Amino acid sequence: MEGTTPESTVEKIKEQIAENPILLYMKGSPKLPSCGFSAQAAQALMSCGEQFAYVDILQNPDIRAELPKYANWPTFPQLWVDGELVGGCDIIIEMFQQNELQPLIKETAEKQKSE
């Protein structure tokens, strides 16, 4: 097993984003978040009532290093929906409070089920 290169890490990130219509890159897991921002983001997503995938960047230091460059977004958590970066904690919470996150998540989940 060779060490991961930045290129192979970016490939892995692209794959994860392609395979998971709703994907949260966070510190820890939704049930055991390791940071307050990740906790809030995961809570908002869980409140939408749909399944979502997550990647614990603390367990994946290569992704933690490369994703901010790939995404052009310096911080975590990061929510990706349908291959697009939605944003970080502030944006997720704001969208949730304005009832914009729920329909986005629901539609994406519905689309995934019908495929």
* 35 annotated ligand binder: yes
CB atoms within 10 A of CB 14: 12
Q: List the end-to-end C-alpha distance of the chain, in Å, as a whole number.
A: 35
Q: State how far the Cα of 33 lies from the Cα of 39, in Å rounded to an integer.
A: 5
Is 31 known to sit in a ligand binding site? no
Say if residue 12 carries a ligand binding annotation.
no
27 annotated to a ligand binding site: yes
Using a 10 angstrom Cβ sphere, with 0-12 exposed, 13-18 middle and 19 or more buried, the burial of residue 93 is: middle
Residues 17 and 83 sit within 8 Å (Cβ to Cβ): yes
Give the residue numbers of the binding site for glutathione: 27, 64, 76, 89-90
Give the residue numbers of the binding site: 27, 35, 64, 76, 89-90
Give the residue numbers of the binding site for [2Fe-2S] cluster: 35
